[in-house]
Amino acid sequence: MPAFHVAVGDTATFTKTVSESDVYLFSGITGDLAPNHVDADYMSKTTFGRRIAHGALLVGFMSNTSTQIVAQSREAEETAVSLGYDRIRFLKPVFLGDTVTVRYEVAEIQAEESRAISDIQVTNQDGELVAVARHILKWVRNEGT
């Protein structure tokens, strides 16, 4: 059997400090202006004590690493597409100013279905696990090939 596009154990990482502008731009794009993300005074009175980043922003960072895996993949006459994220969990808050690292690792190959299943872990600057997910990539044959 020829080699698949990716192999179990292939990894990609992405590190980013979550800035105020990241959160405000994401709020504007999505329309999610919840006080958790944009109201410092409101959040100062909660157990969190300060604003937290959108969980969906973290999913965007996860998407970045899947794009990196696709860029590393073997040339093919197929296009990789995301079939989605399973078991997304936000385990701890990510605060503005936190630096997160996303680690994406191919965990399983389903060659007959042209799919790869990957595990994603997001940690903060203290090494604490703040989010996890599973991601499904599928390669789709290009028209005319």
Domains of the chain are 11-18+58-141 (3.10.129.10)
Here the tokens at position 82 are: 């995301």
For 62, phi then psi, to 5°, come to -60, -40
Is pLDDT of 22 > 60? yes
Q: What pTM does this model have?
A: 0.92
Task: Kindly state the percentage of the chain with pLDDT values over 70.
Answer: 95
Instruction: With H, G, I as helix, E, B as strand and everything else as coil, classify residue 38.
Output: helix
What pLDDT digit, counting tens, does each position of 69-111 carry?
A: 999 886 678 899 999 999 999 999 999 999 999 999 999 999 9
Q: Could you list the beta-strand ranges (E) of 1-145.
A: 11-17, 78-90, 99-110, 115-123, 129-141
For 47, phi then psi, to 5°, come to -65, -20
Sequence-distant (6+) residues with CB within 8 A of 46 are none
Is pLDDT of 145 > 70? no
Of 31, 84, 29, 24, nearest to 53 (Cα)?
A: 24
